[in-house]
Structure 1
Amino acid sequence: MSLILNETLKLQANALDRASTACLTVGVLAPGAATVYSVTDSEIAAWVFILGTAIWFFAALVLHLAARRTLKGLQS
């Protein structure tokens, strides 16, 4: 029974970690690339970029930490 539980927990942790990677890509890297290539020039866009990046980065961090916490439930 613990083998099934361990595999289920690993799948859940992997899903959470993939979601954190997606948050990082969509919320941090994509807007960063848009800024580097000067897609927007307004001052408001800069604040939206900073705030949005912080929120998405925090979401990615929370999901990653949740994945790590999930793995602590593995049984030997």
Structure 2
Amino acid sequence: MIHNERTKLTANWLNATASGVIITGVVAPSIAVLFQLSMGIGVSPLLLVAASGVWLSSGIALHLLGRKVLGRLM
């Protein structure tokens, strides 16, 4: 019983971390670019896409790790 609860908490933590990583690395920079474009400051779209891709991949990997942890439930 305790093992299952700890497993669920670990999976939940991984999933919450994945959400934070995606918001930090994808959503926030995209909004920042929108504000910079409105002020006339240019940012390389290729750099934004590449960096966001890395953050998005990291978030997906953490989410999948959380699902794998949940697979260990008894």
Using structure 2 for the length normalisation, give the TM-score.
Answer: 0.87
C-alpha offsets along residues 14-65 of structure 1, whole Å, 9 cap, x if unaligned? Answer: 11001100111100000110122226414xx322211110000000000000
Runs of 5+ unmatched residues, structure 1: none
Runs of 5+ unmatched residues, structure 2: none
Percentage of pairs with the same residue: 28
1:69 maps to 2:61: no
Using structure 1 for the length normalisation, give the TM-score.
Answer: 0.85
1:21 maps to 2:25: no
Say how many residue pairs are matched.
Answer: 71
Aligned partners of 1:36 and 1:68: how far apart in 2?
Answer: 34
Name the Cα RMSD after superposition.
1.3
Runs of 4+ in 1 over 6 A off after TM superposition: none
